[in-house]
């Protein structure tokens, strides 16, 4: 059964425009309640958390009403990072966890994504079953069959303790100064506390959410202010999280940005040198070729998956590997978490720094990143690049110009109405020129 609403990361869009409306989310809650209620043995429970967008209040109420109408209890978590909801869904033995968030998007977007009771994102089959119920008339159960709602007051504390448990018990950040940018999002009340409780001197940014400032000129997509603060404060590290906390970008002591590829390299090499080793790493089609070359030198197997953390996790499970991620900052440590977790990934880098006695810039120095340029071309709706001769010709011309020293990749965004044009190669000027040429053709053809 094909899916009409679910994308690569749940259902997402502009608030007030279908399907991101109160009436749709009400029915979505009911449909999810019906699907997960069917398979529950004994108590039926779905956890609901959100980021800090102003529309989250409305959608939280709508989801709550729909789930209860389906006869399933609701545990309300309030503002919590996406990976926290995945973790808490497991520890509460819930049937599912629901996240109200549009991740790194601006405040006027929002979305709904689900985790199963195992903490992993839903299979295509379960998403299709939810969509099946969306096509049916919504029915409210009799009073004695309705679910109940309760608020889980200690959710933040539970997640903070979990994050701390992902490093050894004797691990300490004493003596380190860390600047953390929470993007005015869901980590604002947990990330600084995790770092403080581990002993760091913490300078917190982006911890004053007002409902509309989430991801605005801050966080993992715009770490420039963080970089300036790290240098000005003489800090050892900067941590930039996105609005729902499943992405992380780092800044070294000199203000240089280290993206997800660099983070993967540091964690993988640290594990490779440990007693358990590193079986292999999964990246994506967007991972820099320099990352693969660095892993080749270390003898660490590397595979590319489609873009999207669900595809990274699928590949990790197929290979039996425990580490994967995207250059955007989704880092999955499969021995610790079931999804991308920005705080946990940052702690693994801090552990590598502590064990090696080296600063972040020293740890990434052995990986040479090839120049890579990505241009986002806005398109109307879900425009396709397939079967467009002019676009195919532009890509072929760029690949010929690179002469085997790089690659060209075009792909539609799974979360935004964009075509991403990426060119990578040894010559930075040539890469930038070719990316612009291909993007111009895509824009001309599709818009």
Q: Using CB atoms within 10 Å of the CB of residue 427, give its burial: 0 to 12 exposed, 13 to 18 middle, 19+ buried.
A: middle
Nearest one of 109, 104, 100, 102 to 28, comparing CA atoms: 100
The answer to whether the beta carbons of residues 293 and 230 sit under 8 Å apart is no
Q: How far is CA 282 from the centre of its chain?
A: 15
Q: Give me the phi and psi of 78, to 5 degrees please.
A: 75, -160
H or E element at residue 342 = helix 342-356
Q: Which residue intervals of 327-420 are DSSP H helices?
A: 342-356, 360-364, 389-402
The answer to whether the beta carbons of residues 313 and 332 sit under 8 Å apart is yes
Place of tokens 């955007």: 328
Integer Cα distance of 83 and 108 in angstroms: 22
Q: How far is CA 129 from the centre of its chain?
A: 24
Q: Which residue intervals of 234-332 are DSSP H helices?
A: 260-272, 289-298, 309-319
DSSP letter assigned to residue 84: H
Nearest one of 202, 197, 194 to 176, comparing CA atoms: 202
DSSP letter assigned to residue 50: E
H or E element at residue 67 = helix 56-69
CB neighbour burial string for 330-369, b if at least 16 within 10 angstroms, e if fewer: bbbbbebbbbbbbbbbbbbbbbbbbeeeeebeebbeebeb
- Residue 9 half-sphere exposure toward CB, CA atoms < 13 A: 27
Catalytic residue positions, numbered? 103
């Amino acid at each position: 059964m094909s899916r009409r609403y679910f994308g690569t990361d749940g259902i997402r869009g502009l608030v007030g425009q279908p399907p991101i409306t109160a009436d749709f989310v009400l029915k979505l809650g009911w449909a999810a309640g019906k699907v997960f209620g069917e398979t529950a043995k004994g108590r039926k429970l779905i956890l609901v958390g959100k980021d800090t967008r102003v529309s989250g209040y409305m959608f939280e109420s709508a989801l709550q009403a729909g789930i209860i109408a389906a006869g399933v209890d609701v545990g309300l978590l309030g503002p919590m990072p996406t990976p926290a909801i995945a973790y808490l869904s497991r520890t509460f033995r819930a049937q599912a966890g629901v996240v109200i968030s549009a991740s790194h998007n601006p405040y006027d977007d929002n979305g709904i994504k689900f985790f199963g009771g195992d903490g992993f994102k839903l299979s295509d089959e379960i998403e299709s079953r939810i969509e099946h119920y969306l096509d049916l008339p919504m029915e409210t159960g009799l009073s004695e069959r309705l679910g109940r709602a309760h608020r889980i007051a200690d959710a933040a504390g539970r997640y903070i303790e979990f994050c701390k448990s992902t490093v050894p018990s004797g691990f300490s950040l004493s003596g380190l100064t860390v600047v953390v940018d929470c993007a005015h999002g869901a980590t604002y009340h947990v990330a600084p506390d995790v770092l403080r409780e581990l002993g760091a001197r913490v300078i917190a940014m982006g911890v004053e959410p007002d409902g509309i400032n989430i991801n605005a000129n801050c966080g993992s997509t715009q770490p420039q202010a963080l970089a300036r603060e790290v240098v000005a404060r003489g800090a050892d590290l900067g941590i930039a999280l996105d609005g729902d906390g499943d992405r992380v970008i780092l800044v070294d002591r000199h203000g240089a940005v280290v993206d997800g590829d660099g983070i993967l390299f540091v964690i993988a090499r640290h594990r490779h040198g440990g007693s358990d080793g590193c079986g292999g790493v999964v990246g994506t089609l967007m991972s820099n070729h320099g990352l693969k070359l660095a892993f080749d030198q270390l003898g660490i197997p590397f595979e590319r998956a489609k873009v999207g953390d669900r595809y990274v996790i699928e590949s990790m499970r197929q290979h039996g590997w425990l580490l994967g991620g995207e250059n955007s900052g989704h880092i999955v440590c499969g021995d610790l978490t079931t999804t991308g977790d920005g705080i946990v990934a940052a702690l693994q880098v801090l552990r590598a720094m502590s064990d090696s006695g080296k600063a972040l810039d020293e740890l990434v120095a052995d990986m040479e990143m090839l120049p890579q340029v990505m241009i986002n071309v806005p398109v109307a709706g879900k425009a396709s690049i397939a079967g467009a001769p002019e676009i195919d010709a532009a890509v072929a011309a760029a690949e010929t110009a690179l002469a085997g020293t790089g690659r060209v990749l075009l792909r539609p965004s799974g979360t935004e109405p964009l075509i991403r044009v990426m060119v990578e190669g040894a010559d930075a000027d040539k890469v930038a020129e070719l990316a612009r040429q291909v993007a111009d053709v895509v824009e001309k053809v599709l818009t």
